Structure 1
Amino acid sequence: MTLALAVPVFGPPAAGKTTLAASLGQTPGSAVFRLREHVPETILAATATSAERLGWIDDFTVVTALRSYVDATVQADEAHTVFFDNFPGNGAQVRLFLAALRQHAPDCMVSAVELTVDVTTLYRRAFQRRVCHRCERDPIHDPRLPAVPSADDAQRCARCGGILHPRRGDAPRLLRARLNRYRQTADGIREAFAAAGVVVTPFDSGASADQTADAVTALLVRSSQP
């Protein structure tokens, strides 16, 4: 099963990137790459709570993790599509990303997706979003994956019954920092993809998660057709 399609998914915080990647990544032959799952814990811990460095990871660590992941995915030969959740995060990472694909999967097509959402919806989602420390064993105890609340108790996880908590990065100070960083880097991401001839397709993710997933799926089906 040759790696045929790479789908970078980027956008502002709370746009639904992780929800989209997780949903589409469940289809047979698909996988999801999250950078934080492939870098040392010490680096994650150093950037977790700093508004200035929040989530920033140096280029050497990025390219090492990325090349290792792409090479392992190609060698395993189990996925034809990989969704890159919230990656690349800037123009330099776009170039590292494309270089890694050229080296390890030269025939892989790239279809970039940018999720957009109005600011009111963004802040509402961030305020309401909860994570589960039981279900997501994050290496630095900073879960990121949105949890589904129980139908009987919105404060508990539908999967394990554990108590849900706000995500650390959704605290007002950190959320503002993450939003500002995205605004500063978004043009660079688009320009780097454009320079490489990769089309970036924007999607308004203000609708339901299912509607967004259906729209992106339709795009990918069209893109794969000769």
Structure 2
Amino acid sequence: MTLTVAVPVVGPPAAGKTTLTARLGQAPGCAVFRLREHVPETILAATATSAERLGWIDDFNVVTALRGYLDTTVKGDQTSTVFFDNFPGTGTQVRLFLAALEQHAPGCTVHAVELASEVTTLYRRAFQRRVCHRCERDPIHDPRLPAEPSAEDAQRCARCGGILHPRRGDAPRLLRARLQRYRQTADGIRQAFAEAGVAVTRLNSGTSPEQTAQAVTALLTSRIRQL
């Protein structure tokens, strides 16, 4: 199986990127790349609580992690489609991303997706979402994957029964900083993709996760048929 499709999914915090990629990545032959899962713990720890650096990883570590992942994925020969959760994060990272794909998976088609939603919806989602420290063994104890609450007790995880917690980066001060950073980088991301001839499809993620996933699946099916 050859890596033939790469789907970068970008957008502001709480737009639903992780929920979307987690759903789509479950399909046969699909996988999800999350940058923070492939960089040293010391790098993550240094960016965990600062509003200015929250989750921000330097380009050297970005390209090292990306190339290592692509090399392993291509050699594994088990994946045809990779969804890139919240990546690339800048115009420079777009160029690094496309160059790495060209080297490790020449001929791989890129379909970029940008999720968008009203600011009030983003804040509501961030306020409501919870994570599970027991299910997601994050290396720096800062889990990111949204947890499903139990039907019997909304404060407990449906999977393991553990107590759910707000995500650290959803604290109001940090969320404002993350939203501002996305606004500052979004144009550069779009421009870098445009310069490379890659269209960025903007989707409204204010609908349900199922509807958003269906929209992306329909988009990819349509694009593949056109090739």
Using the size of structure 1 for normalisation, the TM-score is 1.00
Match of 1:43 in 2: 43
**1:98 aligned partner:** 98
Which residue in the other structure is 2:81 paired with?
A: 81
Q: Quick one: distance in 1 between partners of 2:116 and 2:52?
A: 23
Task: Give the aligned partner of residue 185 of structure 1.
Answer: 185
Query: Secondary structure in 1 aligned to 2:165?
Result: strand
Residue 24 of structure 2 corresponds to residue 21 of structure 1 = no
Supply the AA of the counterpart residue of 2:40.
Answer: P
Q: CA deviation at 1:146?
A: 0.2
**Distance in 2 separating the partners of 1:52 and 1:208:** 31
Q: How many pairs align?
A: 226
**SS at 1:127 equivalent:** helix
Give 1:77 shift.
Answer: 0.4
Aligned twin of 2:216: 216
Q: Which residue of 2 aligns with 1:120?
A: 120
Residues 1:11 and 2:11 are matched in the alignment: yes
- Cα RMSD between the aligned structures? 0.4
SS for the counterpart of 1:94 is helix
Q: Distance in 2 between matches of 1:98 and 1:27?
A: 24
Q: Which residue of the partner structure matches residue 65 of structure 1? A: 65
Q: C-alpha displacement at 1:131, in angstroms?
A: 0.1
Question: Deviation of residue 57 (structure 1)?
Answer: 0.6
Query: How big is the shift at 1:66?
Result: 0.3
User: What is the one-letter code of the residue matched to 1:177?
Assistant: A
Other-structure match for 2:166: 166
Q: How many angstroms does 1:164 deviate by?
A: 0.1
- Please report how far the alpha carbon of residue 214 of structure 1 lies from its aligned counterpart in structure 2 after TM superposition: 0.2
Opposite residue 125 of structure 1, the aligned amino acid is R
Match for residue 107 of structure 2?
107
Letter in 2 for 1:112: A
Q: Secondary structure at the match of 1:106?
A: coil
Question: How does the TM-score come out when normalised to structure 2?
Answer: 0.99
Shift of 1:135: 0.4
Alignment partner, residue 144 of structure 2: 144
Secondary structure, counterpart of 1:115 in structure 2: strand
Equivalent residue number for residue 33 of structure 1: 33
* Alignment partners' CA distance in 2, 1:62 and 1:15: 22
CA distance in structure 1 between the aligned counterparts of 2:108 and 2:121, rounded to whole angstroms: 34
Residue 64 of structure 1: how far off its partner (Å): 0.4
**Helix, strand or coil: the match of 1:132?**
coil
CA deviation after TM superposition for structure 1 residue 50, in Å = 0.2
Provide Cα deviations, 1:99-133, integer angstroms capped at 9, x if missing partner: 00000001100000000000110000000000000
Instruction: Give, as a single letter, the amino acid of the residue that structure 2 aligns with 1:85.
Output: D
Aligned partner of 1:135 in structure 2 is 135
The 3-state SS of whatever aligns with 1:184 is: helix
Give the letter for the 1:223 counterpart. Answer: R
Consecutive aligned runs of 4 or more in structure 1 exceeding 3 Å deviation: none
Structure-2 separation of matches of 1:172 and 1:224:
41
Deviation (angstroms), 1:43: 0.4
Deviations along 1:14-53, whole A, 9 cap, x unmatched? 0000000000000000000000000000000000000011
Cα deviation digits, residues 155-207 of structure 1 (max 9, x gap): 00000000000000000000000000000000000000000000100000000
Distance 1:56 1:153 in 2: 35
Secondary structure of the corresponding residue to residue 151 of structure 2: coil
Q: Which amino acid aligns with 1:187?
A: D
